[in-house]
Structure 1
Amino acid sequence: MNQNTRKRTIEKNQKQDIDQIVSRVKFLPNLDSKFLKETLINLKKKWEYNQQQRIKFVEDPEKFMESESDLNTTIHELKLFAANPSMYEDILSFPNFIETVQNLISHENNDISQSILEALNEFIEEDADIEEDKENYTTKFAVTLLQNGILEIVVDNMFRLKNQNNDSSFDSENKSIFVSFNMIENFLEMDEKVTEFFNKKPEFFTFILDISQNAAQNFNANMEYASEILAILVQSNEKNQEILGKAENLDKLMHIINSFKAIKTTGDLDEFVQNIFDSLCSCLMNTKIQDQFRNLEGIELLLIMIKKNKQQFPSLKALDFAIMNNPESCKYFIEKALGLKIIFSLLMRQKLKSKKNAKKSKEKKENERKFDEFIFSILLSLMNQSAELNYARVVNKFIEKNHEKTEKMLDIFQKWNKKLIKGMILIQNEEDQNKIKKDLLDEITEEEKEYEKYTQKLNFGLLILQSISVIVLKLFVFSENSKIKILEILNRKKIEFNYIVNLVNEFFSNLDEESGDRKILEDLLILVRKSLN
């Protein structure tokens, strides 16, 4: 469910709530301070009365149902004030309001719990179209809820909902779970530091993975919401990455991925799969988790996914992350997972031309570029991180059959070089047009202009050209025979050797000073210069 679809779902629920209130009262009252005070007093009184009735008629639920219906009506009335931000402060400062809300979230009746969560979401929901004053009131409301432990109560209530039933009878489509995810998302959008709260809630990650296990067979909106929240939590929070990267959680994540190996996904289900893979990739930035993933045979799983061709793109991306800067994983990839055959087969199958008049979306064009980036990033990792014997095995794959894979690689180079040239023309035209807006350009430093230009070039395929150029130079210095063959192929394809070297120099100059690849490239360029003398 994308954000627009989910927004329509929430708005539909809100309309149903208003209709429900209208059906229960003869007219809508004025939303003034008097009615607000009455509503807030009633909220506390009706909760207290309901609790008394529950205790009194514990063996006869029908006798306290009317009190719960009245309580629910008052909660729906509270929602009406979400449209009046000037009253937010009065609501928050009203005696016992926060305490009452805390109690309602944990109410034994899930309908009551769901209603109060929906009400609170309307007060803290961010909207791009709202005025700045409304946004300030919304933020303050959300901050107050956070400061009073509402997030923890919401999360614990989700656990309670699941624990009320055993795993076999828990309804993963439970609407209370949906509105709880909605609230968590609202808090995360307000402040990314909210991700730190989940450092102390490792069971929340297990909860998400558990309700998502059967997504391939019985997908629902809660599962997609869960995957989105998971991807956000681990995107840039190392502690959360470590939690998800624990063996038992990685195993569950891999089980979800494995269930999609023969399924071609579209729409909301495709978004779910992308979120799951993104979560995995975030974790795989940690070397210890890479090792854990390798020990769980995760590399084999990704290679199977690539061969099956149903989830090839995200699997290739994850594989890139799985072996990056990890010599042991590269060794495993070559020796035990037998991955060279698969990655080179993928290279040989790459199309050099798009279908004529084929109209591609911006996303498809970007994915086409990233796909090639992943292939050559993986090949570079294997060459950079492998010891002598395995390094030779990778090189021999390029050399065998009269350098056919080298030929194919340089055909791909030409394809992206043409795209880059076209892109550079667009960049130049844009620069010429911007000269008219000189006043605006004066505010941008020369360094910022160069960085922006470099970023644009990356979007046109520069990284692919740089990666291929590094591989070409590695083949060039491997042996005298290889050197002669590389020069012959470059000459035949009318690719200047100096152009290859310049691309590597550009790559080198833009690497971080602390990068291990920087030293590798520096040594490579020295070898190239020696080989030319």
Structure 2
Amino acid sequence: MASIDDLFRKPIALPKRKLEDPTKAFSNALSNKSAKLAEGSSPRSSTNGSQDATASNGSNGRAASVEDEPLDDQDAVEAGPSRPSQGVEDDAGDDEEGRFFGGGVTKQEREVIDYIDKNESGELEEKIDAAWLRRTAINFERKINKNAELRAKYESEPMKFVGSEADLDAEIKGLSLLSEHGELYAEFVKIGSVGSLVGILAHENTDIAISACELLAELTDEDSATTEEQWNILVKALIKADVVDLLTSNLSRLDESSETDRAGVYHILNVLENIMSDTDNLEVVGANNAMLEWLLSRIKKPDPDARAKVGQNRQYAAEILAILLQSNKRNRDRLAQKEGVDALLELVSAYRKRDPEKDSDEEEFAENLFDCLACAVEERFAGEKFVEGEGVELCLIMLREGRLAKARALRVLDHALSGGNATTVSIRLVDAAGLKTIFGMLMKGHKMERSLVEHIIGILASLLRYLPGGSAQRIRTLAKFVENDYEKITKLVELRREYKARLSKADADIRREREGLSKAQAEERADEWLSRRLDAGLFTLQAIELILSWMVAEDNGARQTITILLGEDGLKVLERSLKDQLEGMDPGGGDEAKATEEMLEALILCVES
């Protein structure tokens, strides 16, 4: 008995109906008629007539035929039907009843053939709608079930199920059309195909799993033709189907020495990035310990064949890690618990004196490493690890000797000095002789990028806030402000004028836009206007005024200098600024916000007196 595979591989010999030549019957009739005419008979002739004709032909008794007639010129005789007259052509190419076309096919058959040809050549467009999705989903399920059945039945004979895997792979790729039709995402989830697609990630054949990853990347991509609501419906269904766990398990089994597997890792990271574009999903991905461990190990693993040993996937892993840490405290704590801060410090130390090649994967890799570090050190536990790992000292070395790393190291220090472990970091910075470096950069402010100046202002404000009162480190810091005839304070007042002028221009533009708007319309644009004020330097201006207020409170000589430098309004300028900052505080901000309120109230009293 033939196997199923044999039946599929060998064409079945079906009986063929031979189409007869439509001229054959006409030719046969003509031949018979010619023979009878040669005999002198007709359908109506008598038997006797036939006998006489036979006798006259001689003794052989054979009836005379056309073939027996001697022909002097064979070319002069035409056989068969006569030619059609010149200039006459059958428009339809068929007979009077429309039964036959050239090649012996009927009109209906020709229409079917034309339809198939158009479909194969792509001229015939398939309608992508709910009906198409249901048909495709049914075929998808059938291919999954058939492959699973054959794999279970012929576990040790791969050749017997390899064909079903090729069919399944083609079916997965065919679903990519769905990315252009976001209106079908809800139906795709409703009919249960999301669970089946995610389940494919666990397929024994990694090529099949990689195809599923590629499809998921397309469906969740920001360029897919979806609305936010449609995208959310799909992503929530994917998370519910444990897509993160299955993606992580694939990362551990793919071998990046293979080009196919390397592409698979890229698609997995792409899916994770797409999912985390909604910050609500950061916790879902970060809570997967295996995922976080893989990312940390991957950024530490050099790519031997890549330039500077940083390939696309190593860079991408650093980017995913940076996204995870951006605005999620728990993920930052998880990183610190896995010795992630030490790993990051070790990796960024390579850029103390060396810059990565411009516009390369390594440059983006380095940027992402510094982003990870800046985010992590805002938390208390990670800040402690940063100090223990001599992160403050490393950043100061980069400020003195680095080039590209200088701006990034300054940003890391700014975040660490305003984070949960700010007091310890502040003390360590002073003890590590960091004041000379920071104040030296302040005095060169006009030669630096605006972002560098703003980080320096942030660091100075944090030092005055977090260094313990009466400590040696605080006294050394205050001494730096007043040395050389208060030149640092003079520089800060100059910077305040620059930022005040920039902010005043933005405020004037906003006032013009506000004119004629109703209260409701103004409220709608409030966030936009605040963003523009921040871009103009509102936060830095407030930080400068906070530093000046601290110096008014700490040193009488600084108080007199600042009063003179600020002009007619004197200290009233600082008082108004401190009150504005106090009014802008979020009443439910927690312990940190409460401490900030108390500091502002104390400074207001000092400035008023």
Q: Residues 314-463 of structure 1 correspond to what in structure 2 (within 5 A)?
A: 314-324=408-418, 326-335=422-431, 337-351=432-446, 368-387=449-468, 388=470, 389-432=472-515, 435=516, 438-439=517-518, 441-445=519-523, 455-463=531-539
Q: Residues 112-261 of structure 1 correspond to what in structure 2 (within 5 A)?
A: 112-127=208-223, 130=225, 132=227, 138-161=231-254, 174-189=262-277, 191-213=278-300, 214=302, 217-246=308-337, 248-261=339-352
User: Could you list the per-position Cα deviations for residues 60-106 of structure 1 after superposition, in whole angstroms to 9, with x for gaps in the alignment?
Assistant: xx8876554444333323434554566656755668x5675455323
1:174 counterpart SS class: helix
What is the Cα deviation at residue 393 of structure 1?
Answer: 0.8
* AA of the residue aligned to 1:210: S
Greater fraction of residues in helix: 1
What is the Cα deviation at residue 305 of structure 1?
Answer: 2.5
CA distance in structure 1 between the partners assigned to 2:299 and 2:175 by the alignment: 33
Q: Does 1:516 align with 2:516?
A: no
Q: 2:146·2:164 contact (CA, 8 Å) conserved in 1?
A: no
CA distance in structure 1 between the partners assigned to 2:530 and 2:273 by the alignment: 34
Q: Which residue of 2 aligns with 1:287?
A: 380
CA distance in structure 2 between the partners assigned to 1:523 and 1:147 by the alignment: 51
Q: 1:172·1:222 contact (CA, 8 Å) conserved in 2?
A: no
User: Could you list the per-position Cα deviations for residues 298-325 of structure 1 after superposition, in whole angstroms to 9, with x for gaps in the alignment?
Assistant: 1122222222131233322221111225
What is the Cα deviation at residue 252 of structure 1?
Answer: 1.3
What is the Cα deviation at residue 286 of structure 1?
Answer: 1.6
Alignment RMSD: 3.5
CA distance in structure 1 between the partners assigned to 2:533 and 2:220 by the alignment: 40
Q: 2:310·2:365 contact (CA, 8 Å) conserved in 1?
A: no
CA distance in structure 1 between the partners assigned to 2:136 and 2:146 by the alignment: 15
What is the Cα deviation at residue 243 of structure 1?
Answer: 0.7
* AA of the residue aligned to 2:264: S
* AA of the residue aligned to 2:237: T
Q: Does 1:309 align with 2:409?
A: no
Q: Does 1:465 align with 2:541?
A: yes
The higher-RCO structure (CA 8 Å, 6+ apart) is 1
Q: 2:503·2:533 contact (CA, 8 Å) conserved in 1?
A: yes
CA distance in structure 2 between the partners assigned to 1:451 and 1:81 by the alignment: 36
What is the Cα deviation at residue 519 of structure 1?
Answer: 1.7
Q: 1:50·1:71 contact (CA, 8 Å) conserved in 2?
A: no
The one of 513, 528, 531 equivalent to 2:607 is 528
* AA of the residue aligned to 2:572: N
Q: 1:264·1:311 contact (CA, 8 Å) conserved in 2?
A: no
The one of 567, 574, 578 equivalent to 1:504 is 578
The one of 355, 359, 362 equivalent to 1:263 is 355
Aligned length: 468
Alignment CA distance shift 1:46-1:219 (3 Å): same
* AA of the residue aligned to 1:301: L
Q: 1:198·1:240 contact (CA, 8 Å) conserved in 2?
A: no
Greater Cα radius of gyration, structure 1 or 2: 2
Q: Residues 31-70 of structure 1 correspond to what in structure 2 (within 5 A)?
A: 32=132, 34=135, 37-50=138-151, 52-53=153-154, 55-57=155-157, 68-70=165-167
User: Could you list the per-position Cα deviations for residues 358-412 of structure 1 after superposition, in whole angstroms to 9, with x for gaps in the alignment?
Assistant: xxxxxxxxxx444322211111111111122222211111211222222222222
1:403 counterpart SS class: helix
Q: 2:315·2:364 contact (CA, 8 Å) conserved in 1?
A: yes
Alignment CA distance shift 1:313-1:102 (3 Å): same
With the length of structure 2 as denominator, give the TM-score of the two structures: 0.68
* AA of the residue aligned to 2:221: E
Q: Which residue of 2 aligns with 1:7?
A: none
CA distance in structure 2 between the partners assigned to 1:391 and 1:78 by the alignment: 65
User: Could you list the per-position Cα deviations for residues 322-342 of structure 1 after superposition, in whole angstroms to 9, with x for gaps in the alignment?
Assistant: 12252222111111x221111
Gaps of 5+ in 2: 1-118, 588-592
1:252 counterpart SS class: helix
CA distance in structure 1 between the partners assigned to 2:176 and 2:525 by the alignment: 49
Q: Residues 77-96 of structure 1 correspond to what in structure 2 (within 5 A)?
A: 77-83=174-180
Gaps of 5+ in 1: 1-24, 355-367
Alignment CA distance shift 1:39-1:476 (3 Å): closer
1:56 counterpart SS class: coil
CA distance in structure 2 between the partners assigned to 1:199 and 1:329 by the alignment: 27
Alignment CA distance shift 1:515-1:79 (3 Å): same
